[in-house]
Amino acid sequence: MAGITDRPFRRLAMRFGADLVVSEMVASREMVTARRGTRDKALGADMPGTAVQIAGAEAHWMAEAARIAEDMGARVIDINMGCPAKKVTATAGDGASGSALMRDVPNALRLVEAVIGAVAVPVTLKMRLGWNEESLTAPELAAGAAALGVSRITVHGRTRCQFYKGRADWAAIRPVRDALPKDVPLIANGDICSLNDARNALAQSGADGVMIGRGAQGRPWLPGQIADALGGRVPRAAPEADDLAALVREHYEQMLSFYGPGLAVRVARKHLGWYLEAAGDPAGLRRTLMTETDPAAVLSLISRAFTPARRTAA
């Protein structure tokens, strides 16, 4: 997720047991030309269980970006054909990419073939159901990609024109399962925010696994909990009170180190907001946390917000 699944966030999700973590989407041309900050999105690619996700509309740039990501240590290259953002699907810059490619399956498959031919690591593909209800091309695209050698297909249960409106339609993913060889895993995505959601998504879609996106915002432990439960293991407990305060402080400190204080203070605000939401907005400190610019003061506020004893004392 752009602006969210950076290296600090991915590290936390992996520590809590996520089977696979995926980088922020990286524009392929900007990856190759080393536009400032672009390759930073793929930092941490050498961590076990990490995929680097690339996007673009031209085979040359996609292949070169995949090679760079592999050289950075990526264990998996993931191709994004699911992003619905207008700036990604428009025909400017790197071309109409993301979910726009679902309207041009032949070109989409040319990109898949180029990436697979460029690297030795597994290549996976993320998509939506199609561009709109009249163009549900996911089964066709998935089958073609599998024939080229894609290792895994992930489908978000919405069309591009739905963006994030309504509810993801997990049952609409099942035609993709029917179109794929049995040895190519299918992953269901969209609105999976709990273990119950995961089980329902698997049952309705026929998928082999689930991918969690927005459901992990403020809860980096959730993918690991769901993986534990689906794998027949006892899910590890979500951090609370002092443990939660320590986790949020650690996440904030990692962001300070990764981005530098000036940028980190701004980037971290959304994460702090999600942590507060997940914890029931304790102590009503949201506005103060969202506006504070001194990192030391933010760390102190985190302790007050998430530690009951300190909230009482305050």
Q: What's the average model confidence in pLDDT over 12-25? A: 95
Q: pLDDT (tens digit, 9 = 90+) per residue, 129-144?
A: 999 999 999 999 999 9
Could you please report the per-residue DSSP string of 242-265? HHHHHHHHHHHHHHHHHH-HHHHH
At residue 91, the pLDDT reads 63
Q: pLDDT (tens digit, 9 = 90+) per residue, 226-260?
A: 999 999 999 999 999 899 999 999 999 999 999 99
The secondary structure element, H or E, covering residue 290 is: helix 286-291
Question: Which residues are part of the catalytic machinery?
Answer: 83
Residue 286 confidence class, pLDDT cut points 50, 70, 90? confident
Tokens 């190519």: give the residue: 184
Residue 312 confidence class, pLDDT cut points 50, 70, 90? very low
Lowest mean pLDDT among 9-18, 35-44, 181-190: 35-44
Cβ 129 vs Cβ 169: under 8 Å = yes
Phi, psi for 181 (deg, rounded to 5): -60, 150
Residues of the chain above pLDDT 90, percent: 81
Backbone conformation region of residue 166, classed left if phi is above 0, alpha if psi is from -120 to 50, else beta: left
Structure tokens at 209: 């696994």
Is the pTM above the cut of 0.85? yes
Cβ 75 vs Cβ 69: under 8 Å = no
> Given a cut of 70, is residue 289 above it in pLDDT?
yes
133: amino acid identity, one letter = E
At residue 97, the pLDDT reads 93
Collect all residues with Cβ–Cβ distance below 8 Å to 294 and sequence separation of at least 6: none
At residue 307, the pLDDT reads 75
> Given a cut of 60, is residue 309 above it in pLDDT?
no
At residue 313, the pLDDT reads 42
Cβ 255 vs Cβ 247: under 8 Å = no
Structure tokens at 115: 């990436």
Q: What's the average model confidence in pLDDT over 48-58? A: 94
Cβ 51 vs Cβ 75: under 8 Å = yes
> Given a cut of 70, is residue 17 above it in pLDDT?
yes
Collect all residues with Cβ–Cβ distance below 8 Å to 35 and sequence separation of at least 6: 27
At residue 283, the pLDDT reads 64
> Given a cut of 70, is residue 159 above it in pLDDT?
yes
Mean pLDDT of the chain: 92
Residue 69 confidence class, pLDDT cut points 50, 70, 90? very high
As a whole number of Å, the end-to-end CA separation of the chain is 36
Q: Where are the alpha helices (DSSP H) in the chain?
A: 7-15, 28-32, 59-71, 86-89, 105-118, 138-148, 174-179, 195-205, 222-230, 241-259, 261-278, 286-291, 295-306, 308-313
Cβ 82 vs Cβ 54: under 8 Å = no
Q: pLDDT (tens digit, 9 = 90+) per residue, 161-177?
A: 999 999 999 999 999 99
